Structure 1
């Protein structure tokens, strides 16, 4: 499994992240064509750069400077017009919604009223789309990061001089591990913090796995090193991991309450939930609620289990789980592209179409999900 480790000891911005991916060997010419086909002329200029005697890459995003101020409602149609994979599209939309929520909180306005100031948000659009597109192109399945360096100082903005980190950056770094540093200038931009917030799966002190490549992306500010290091790794597949099973027999919940329980426990971090019907004491109809939880979410899942069932007790046990290697993929059919899981079993690979993608295709074609699934016997992955 390919993983990426982000070493943001010297900071991170959107252009630094793209430059680091370019230094890994990513070619952005295909992404430029995607923007051009959507009517957005943007050149991602990659050039060699050297800081402190170390070579890397720097990225300049060149576009028409006469861009209007855009809100979230203006940005989302631009993303919709881009011919990118469905999973990338959803991640980009989620990232912009998160940025709008944060900026709205900073300025005490509704997210829909937030104006993206970076030249009509073209910089941010290219940075965010480029980040998710680049990870997909490189086949990255998981992203890890170092703890985030804290910095200080002041910066001039449209509303006057403010302290660093910028308020939006601070909000995006909530719940992230931070550590003190000597930097007294902006080493993490809001876009850089957004990338950390949206792409990082876990924070670790260092990379782990078989090192396959390294990249360095330099920022625009020429103060010291100002470089983002990334490491491409091959992570050995762990044949098994440990999860917790939480169970309780219930006969006091209505169907509506059971449905709400499912929603709440899955939202709390549970991996899966199932209800097994049966007959309880005094011949009452009831059943067993069984929830699967990863270790890091156990206490939260336990609290939600009690809160939304008011059961009198839980049985909790640790079990070993064996998983087949799988990754996100896209398959081409005569009805259109569908998102799928690529599963590996004994050197054979299988594509299993995602149900949500099948539902959208069913609405488009008039066929049922069952018909589409049975007709798609020989899915071909898009290269």
Structure 2
């Protein structure tokens, strides 16, 4: 999945977090993970309506007296303690490093000694900033903005992040150290090498944390995404412009399939008539699960209504270790749910995704008489011949009721009807 950030109206830490919340990311698990790491906080998502359209705002509440991280070593130590996936941690560290480097440049200090208070102020903070000391920015909020964005990208299954050109603005703001020209020195440092366009705005459209997110996470700068738009999230920060930040979630798999076929990327065949339709195949080599864990993973995936099929092919992997190939099929619209489930039940660290086209033979629901009992079945036609196949679940239930094995019914004469 691709996420495209439309920064034409600017970008900040709070706005980015809010846009991900509007896309459906639940940040309660992150707040719980921070609490378990000894960092109690609240992440409150509220609806917002502005000229940019309906969206969200995020308010962060940091417990009074809790640890106040203020530099890169602090952020790094906290990231190492929070129970999040490695990719979340790596993304967050990349952004924190970018922010530290920009702060170090602005204050001409070593990176590890640069204090984030020098670059973070009200533009970066939520409404709960008021519970802190005036003129003393709450850098704990910045930590949550950074970690939360990394967490949100992972929760949405984002593999690639593209960003629009950034607005270039002039003017000044009053910060901790007096009147500061825009873009701020730290922001200007991070905007080097980025495409920009001129605006008439004299407000702070790109904040230091917003610039650090772009610097640390963007894979490419493009005017717009390519693919099938799955969802739009709009986020507003405390001082966001009326347009807010728009985050477009895009399915690029559908675009690849569309290039191979004239059919729509998520074309569904009429199973009664047969035809071709799109499916997603997820696969991974598994060599780290024991037999019990593997069996439970296959059972859990097979039980999902979103899953079309599950296949396990045993083999030998690297270093002659016993391994196997797990393949899971689903429809394109279920890709995210099924991919999350595969990761949840296998803890594999790599998941290959392919868009395939499958041919569907005509079939329809029917009833079949098996050993004197009518059971749900599928009726299908191949080479002009009609066949009736009882549903496996129905056979299993009937066999259990009769106290016999499934083969006793499977091999009985089947009559369609």
Regarding TM over 0.5, the answer is yes
Cα root mean square deviation, aligned:
3.3
Tell whether the 8 Å contact from 1:213 to 1:233 is kept in structure 2 after alignment.
Answer: yes
Q: Which residue is equivalent to 1:49?
A: 48
Give the length in aligned residue pairs. 269
Q: Which residue is equivalent to 1:382?
A: 344
- 1:51-71 per-residue CA deviation (whole Å, 9 max, x = no partner) reads 127211111111124454632
- 1:82-110 per-residue CA deviation (whole Å, 9 max, x = no partner) reads 11111221222222222212211211111
TM-score, length-scaled by structure 1: 0.63
- 1:241-289 per-residue CA deviation (whole Å, 9 max, x = no partner) reads xxxxxxxxxxxxxxxxxxxxxxxxxxxxxxxxxxxxxxxxxxxxxxxxx
User: Shift in Å at residue 325 of structure 1?
Assistant: 9.1
Q: Cα–Cα, structure 1 residues 130 and 36, in superposed 2: closer, same or farther, change >3 Å? A: same
- Distance in 2, Cα, partners of 1:137 & 1:60: 20
Q: Which residue is equivalent to 1:232?
A: 249
Superposition pairs of residues 85-104 of structure 1, within 5 angstroms? 85-104=85-104
Q: Which residue is equivalent to 1:298?
A: none
SS, match of residue 57 in structure 1: strand
Q: Which residue is equivalent to 2:13?
A: 14
SS, match of residue 187 in structure 2: helix
Superposition pairs of residues 177-192 of structure 1, within 5 angstroms? 177-192=195-210
SS, match of residue 382 in structure 1: helix
SS, match of residue 44 in structure 2: strand
- Distance in 1, Cα, partners of 2:74 & 2:197: 37
- Distance in 1, Cα, partners of 2:249 & 2:24: 11
SS, match of residue 176 in structure 1: coil
Q: Cα–Cα, structure 1 residues 209 and 64, in superposed 2: closer, same or farther, change >3 Å? A: same
- Distance in 1, Cα, partners of 2:177 & 2:247: 34
User: Shift in Å at residue 115 of structure 1?
Assistant: 1.5
Tell whether the 8 Å contact from 1:19 to 1:58 is kept in structure 2 after alignment.
Answer: yes
- Distance in 2, Cα, partners of 1:350 & 1:113: 52
Runs of 4+ in 1 over 2 A off after TM superposition: 64-71, 118-121, 236-239, 324-334, 347-351, 375-383
SS, match of residue 132 in structure 1: helix
Superposition pairs of residues 1-383 of structure 1, within 5 angstroms? 2-52=1-51, 54-66=53-65, 67-68=67-68, 70-117=70-117, 118=120, 119=137, 121-221=139-239, 224-235=241-252, 236=254, 238=256, 333=289, 374-375=321-322, 377=324, 381-382=343-344
Tell whether the 8 Å contact from 1:332 to 1:381 is kept in structure 2 after alignment.
Answer: no
User: Shift in Å at residue 166 of structure 1?
Assistant: 0.7
SS, match of residue 116 in structure 2: coil
User: Shift in Å at residue 330 of structure 1?
Assistant: 11
- Distance in 1, Cα, partners of 2:284 & 2:175: 40
- Unpaired stretches in structure 2, ≥5 consecutive residues: 121-136, 258-279, 291-308, 327-341, 346-417
Tell whether the 8 Å contact from 1:329 to 1:381 is kept in structure 2 after alignment.
Answer: no
Tell whether the 8 Å contact from 1:151 to 1:181 is kept in structure 2 after alignment.
Answer: yes
Tell whether the 8 Å contact from 2:48 to 2:56 is kept in structure 1 after alignment.
Answer: yes
Tell me which structure has the larger Cα radius of gyration.
2
SS, match of residue 47 in structure 1: strand
- Distance in 2, Cα, partners of 1:138 & 1:49: 21
Q: Cα–Cα, structure 1 residues 127 and 376, in superposed 2: closer, same or farther, change >3 Å? A: farther
TM-score, length-scaled by structure 2: 0.58
- Distance in 2, Cα, partners of 1:101 & 1:53: 32
User: Shift in Å at residue 75 of structure 1?
Assistant: 2.0
Q: Cα–Cα, structure 1 residues 111 and 211, in superposed 2: closer, same or farther, change >3 Å? A: same
Q: Which residue is equivalent to 1:262?
A: none
Q: Which residue is equivalent to 2:297?
A: none
Q: Cα–Cα, structure 1 residues 152 and 381, in superposed 2: closer, same or farther, change >3 Å? A: same
SS, match of residue 233 in structure 2: strand
Q: Cα–Cα, structure 1 residues 195 and 326, in superposed 2: closer, same or farther, change >3 Å? A: farther
